[in-house]
Structure 1
Amino acid sequence: MSEQLKVGISDYKIAQAPNELVTIGLGSCVGIALYAPKSKVGALSHIMLPDSATFSDTSNWAKFADLALPAIVKELKDKTNETALLAKIAGGASMFSFSQQASSLQIGRRNIEAVTTVLNSLGIPIISEHVGGQMGRSMFVDLQTFDVRIRMVNREEFIV
């Protein structure tokens, strides 16, 4: 029997098929689904900020793309002995309108860029994404197939 494991903000979980990983309410945050296809083990991370450089307290490292992704990838590779991981990402919306579009206020866009940069540096291809826009979303990761369902308010659910 499968279990649905919920991933909160600034959190991550690793699980194996037939379980499902879920994160709700990705606004400017980015959800990163990582997958080891041979063992059907995956991780889901809900990052909140692009990098930890300007923070003195990084004890909640799962909050930051630059700290979370390398650590989660290492844990997933150690657990599965697989090196060829796959990624799917969602989120990074621009949830608020600002009269001045300063890049420091564009957290969603900065999160997408940071996640993409870190995954590229780790040699992990992003095989599918649903990012940007102005609407939040939720992610449901099927660890049997690596189908990722995206749900948005008043929209039909779809698979990426």
Structure 2
Amino acid sequence: MEIIVSISDMKVTNRPKDVLVTHALGSCLGLAAYDPAAGVAGLIHCLLPVARDTAKGPVKNPFMYVNLGVPQMMRALFNRGATRENLVLKAAGCGRMMHISNQFDTGANNFAALKKLLLVNEMRLSAEDVGGTIPRTMRLFADTGRVMISSCGRSWDL
């Protein structure tokens, strides 16, 4: 069953027949996580790198932000039996849409925020398909952890 992960959304499953899918990864970050031993998979679609003004109170949607959403997805995976040692992480998106080049390069900033989080937590990506100017759809197959990217009429494994 396909489960849609919307923009600023996250889903975790331990049902092997599920396929987590997110569309329209432009400058947004898509991060797939899979633990083969626990049989748990998660996918997040983050819009922005860092939540600002968190001192003013809780953020309404932490999945909107890399710095809040990714750790929350990791906790959800760990709560279902995943371990840091077994997690396979794959990233997609983080592009520069419409060839815009300025100080607000959201795609590059999203990927930098992810790399910083992974470094601090001694984790690493096993694959990535980031940057460029194409929109991407990302599918995570919960039975195997296979990640498939599609864009502009073609598909490839990540």
TM-score, normalisation: structure 1? 0.89
User: Measured at CA, do residues 50 and 82 of structure 1 come closer, stay the same or move farther in structure 2, by a change above 3 Å?
Assistant: same
Superposition RMSD in Å: 1.6
Q: Deviations over 1:15-70 (max 9, x none)?
A: 12231110011010010001112022111000000001257672111100000111
Q: How does 1:106-125 map to 2 (within 5 A)?
A: 106-125=105-124
Counterpart CA distance in 2 for 1:149 and 1:81 is 21
Counterpart CA distance in 2 for 1:132 and 1:54 is 28
Contact 1:69 1:119 in 2 (8 A): no
Between 60-69 and 76-85, report the one with greater CA deviation.
Answer: 76-85
AA of the residue aligned to 2:19:
E
Residue 9 (structure 2) aligned to one of 8, 11, 17: 11
Q: Percent identity?
A: 28
Question: Which runs of no fewer than 5 residues in structure 1 stay unpaired?
Answer: none
Counterpart CA distance in 2 for 1:5 and 1:40 is 17
Contact 2:99 2:133 in 1 (8 A): no
Q: Which residue of 2 aligns with 1:96?
A: 98
Question: Which runs of no fewer than 5 residues in structure 2 stay unpaired?
Answer: none
Q: Deviations over 1:81-131 (max 9, x none)?
A: 523222100001100234xx332x210111111112112222322000100
Q: How does 1:118-137 map to 2 (within 5 A)?
A: 118-137=117-136
Counterpart CA distance in 1 for 2:40 and 2:80 is 9
TM-score, normalisation: structure 2? 0.90
User: Measured at CA, do residues 9 and 39 of structure 1 come closer, stay the same or move farther in structure 2, by a change above 3 Å?
Assistant: same
Q: Which residue of 2 aligns with 1:32?
A: 31
Q: Which residue of 1 aligns with 2:19?
A: 20
Give aligned pairs, total: 154
Counterpart CA distance in 1 for 2:22 and 2:13 is 14
User: Measured at CA, do residues 159 and 81 of structure 1 come closer, stay the same or move farther in structure 2, by a change above 3 Å?
Assistant: closer
User: Measured at CA, do residues 45 and 81 of structure 1 come closer, stay the same or move farther in structure 2, by a change above 3 Å?
Assistant: closer
Structure 1's consecutive aligned runs of 4 or more residues displaced over 6 angstroms after TM superposition are: none
Contact 2:32 2:91 in 1 (8 A): yes
Q: Which residue of 2 aligns with 1:41?
A: 40
